[in-house]
Amino acid sequence: MVERRDAAVGMLRMLAEVTADFWDDPFHHAALAAGFIAFAEGRLKDSDYVKRLAYEIYEEHLAEKIASRSANFPASAPPSR
């Protein structure tokens, strides 16, 4: 399961390089990655599975994005007295 997620996140990063307007929305990247994974697993016809997988991948992408932004902010200094 972890390997599948790592592969999906890798695909998202790779596909982020595409500059067409369609690809401006990271959810489209997640949906495509989910389709690739579902196809490889033989579950492409299970639309509910593909949809859930796309949302999981997208949520992981957003969590990584938030974490990377948080890492760029300096730690708050304690209030002075």
9 in any annotated domain = yes
Query: Cα(45)–Cα(50) distance, rounded to whole angstroms?
Result: 8
48 in any annotated domain = yes
Query: Structural domain of residue 65, as residue ranges?
Result: 2-70
Query: Cα(6)–Cα(57) distance, rounded to whole angstroms?
Result: 10
20 in any annotated domain = yes
35-51 per-position pLDDT tens digit: 999 999 999 999 999 99
15 in any annotated domain = yes
Query: Cα(34)–Cα(13) distance, rounded to whole angstroms?
Result: 14
> Based on the structure, what is the number of domains in the chain?
1
**Average pLDDT score over residue span 61-70:** 87
26 in any annotated domain = yes
What does the DSSP 8-state code read for residue 74?
P
75 in any annotated domain = no
58 in any annotated domain = yes
Query: Cα(25)–Cα(33) distance, rounded to whole angstroms?
Result: 13
Q: Which of 37, 30, 17, 14 is nearest to 62 (CA)?
A: 30
- pTM greater than the 0.85 cutoff: no
The answer to whether residue 58 scores a pLDDT higher than 80 is yes
Query: What would the 3-class secondary structure string for 7-20 be?
Result: HHHHHHHHHCCCCC
The answer to whether residue 30 scores a pLDDT higher than 90 is yes
